[in-house]
Structure 1
Amino acid sequence: MSEPDRHLPPAGDADAEKAITAAAAGSASFDQIGAAKALLRATRYGSLGTLDSENAPYTSLVNVATDIDGAPVILISRLALHTKNILRDSRVSLMLSHVGGGDPSAHPRISIKGRASLTTDENSRRRFLARHPASAGYATFADFGFYRIEPESAHLVAGFGRIFSLRAEAFMTDLTGAEAIVAGEAGAVAHMNEDHADALELYAVKLLGLEPGAWRATGIDPDGLDMMLGDKTARLSFPKAAGGTSLSLRGVLKDLAQEARRVA
């Protein structure tokens, strides 16, 4: 039976540091890629840095979700200063962190550098609203739009002596050959929520060590499964990439459910 924490699980407002610990569990060297992915996939809000009309930095708070490949997606209004800045200069930075108790600077965080652009992709919209359902009330307003941040690099601070510079391809999810999973993701998420709610709770409780409850899936990609319970998030990283077909994804999820049932 595999140890639960190899799944890089925990991800909630007070649990990101556990994800960093899990990323290093059982290995001689720290897994900075796993830690970066855990923060990227689990965080629901962040600090967005843009450049104003005087080319000076401006920082604002935004809700965050991820596209299926891991690119951050935000929902912002054209009336907001940060959106005006993006429309003038698409260069942005996005800092993601879960600050718990004690010294805030002791907690893990990642700063992503990239370019933001308006997207009308329905999958981006669906994944964002699954993570932030309250945003549906204004997502259709004429001045609001979904923006995808195309990462170029990232700076990860995961604790004392654990500081890394990463290229985007290191922490993004490779979708090469995964067309079937991308095309079927919406259906797979709906299927898990409608027909396998028991498995979702098993994943959360038995594999991730989280509280029981009506966990729901918000997104699936070749690397893992995103879940939520209220405002709490969880990331179940697959032991290996799910491959390129819906059948292979189904097999991974079935194997994990069987593993969860074996956990005492």
Structure 2
Amino acid sequence: MNPTIKPEADPPAGSKAGPQPGQGPAAIARRVMRQADRAALATAQRDAGGWPYPSLVLTALDHDASPLLLISDLADHTANIKADPRAGLLFDGTGGLAEPLTGPRVSVLGRMEVTEDPRHRARFLARHESAGFYAGFADFTVWRMVVERAHLVAGFGRIHWITAGDLLYQLSDTETLALREPDVVEHMNEDHADAVELYATVLLGQPGGGWKLTGVDPEGCDLRLGGRTARLDFERPVADAEAARMELVRLVRKARTGSNETKA
């Protein structure tokens, strides 16, 4: 069941991660989260009387937008969540803004739990290819946040608490897309690398250089080039691989039209 929420106003000029016309708080929050590849993690320091302990972590999101982390048992934040699984993640969507406080950011609260689902590990490593160097070490484990609620600040005076039921994206048969996601990503990168490059350069205004698709979820797809990431939203939600294929085809047609217009 998708949330029904009052539409938001237009985003601040130049805000790539900012609210889009017609989006409600939950959709804005998910967009900020899906665009980010890192977050500030807050845990309760186990040996310091529960004082807040902030740290930086790399993140990926499951198809429903549940945060995924790959962290070491040797890290303080991991020891903290083993003692107290409650945690917070701050996703920052204000990068590049002249006035950061006018941009969106999302604090997500929940409880961390270990996940043995191989799809979660695969999704994280697709998002962070360099993490493959240490992902096989015995002390590294994938954790999933069981979201309880989130707090969105979308700019001055635009503040919302969001329940987990509204924040997390729910779509019937979304598992169908999740299971086929690796095939879709591999096919696009191996057989349609030119299309992926057009997504980044024409539709998202990024510099060229060999972009790769790293993930496809019901609301859009993730791209990466070295240390740069980009998020391309779908015009409409997709529930399976065929619907994703049709949307990716539509987007590349749009990109090629835009590219031809630019050359003209």
Identical residues among aligned pairs (%): 42
For normalisation by structure 1, the TM-score amounts to 0.85
Matching residue of 1:20: 18
Structure 1 segment 80-229 matched on structure 2, within 5 A = 80-98=75-93, 99-100=95-96, 102=98, 104-229=100-225
Matching residue of 1:40: 33
Q: Which residue type is aligned with residue 247 of structure 1?
A: E
- Aligned-partner Cα distance in 2 for 1:211–1:246: 28
Q: Which runs of 5+ in 1 are unaligned?
A: 1-14
Distance 1:116 1:16, change over 3 A: farther
**Cα offset, 1:198, TM superposition:** 1.0
Q: Which residue type is aligned with residue 18 of structure 2?
A: I
**Cα offset, 1:102, TM superposition:** 4.5
- Aligned-partner Cα distance in 2 for 1:167–1:48: 19
SS at match of 1:18: coil
* CA RMSD in angstroms, aligned pairs only: 2.0
Matching residue of 1:64: 59
- Aligned-partner Cα distance in 2 for 1:101–1:209: 16
- Aligned-partner Cα distance in 1 for 2:99–2:218: 35
- Aligned-partner Cα distance in 2 for 1:80–1:202: 40
**Cα offset, 1:212, TM superposition:** 2.2
Check whether the contact 2:38–2:56 (CA below 8 A) recurs between aligned residues. yes
Which is bigger in relative contact order (C-alpha 8 A, separation at least 6)?
Answer: 1
- Aligned-partner Cα distance in 2 for 1:223–1:55: 37
1:236 is matched with which residue: 209, 232, 238? 232
- Aligned-partner Cα distance in 2 for 1:121–1:87: 19
Q: Which runs of 5+ in 2 are unaligned?
A: 1-12
For normalisation by structure 2, the TM-score amounts to 0.85
Matching residue of 1:52: 45
**Cα offset, 1:83, TM superposition:** 0.7
Q: Which residue type is aligned with residue 242 of structure 1?
A: V
- Aligned-partner Cα distance in 1 for 2:222–2:68: 15
Check whether the contact 1:16–1:108 (CA below 8 A) recurs between aligned residues. no
**Cα offset, 1:129, TM superposition:** 1.4
Distance 1:237 1:169, change over 3 A: farther
- Aligned-partner Cα distance in 2 for 1:222–1:101: 28
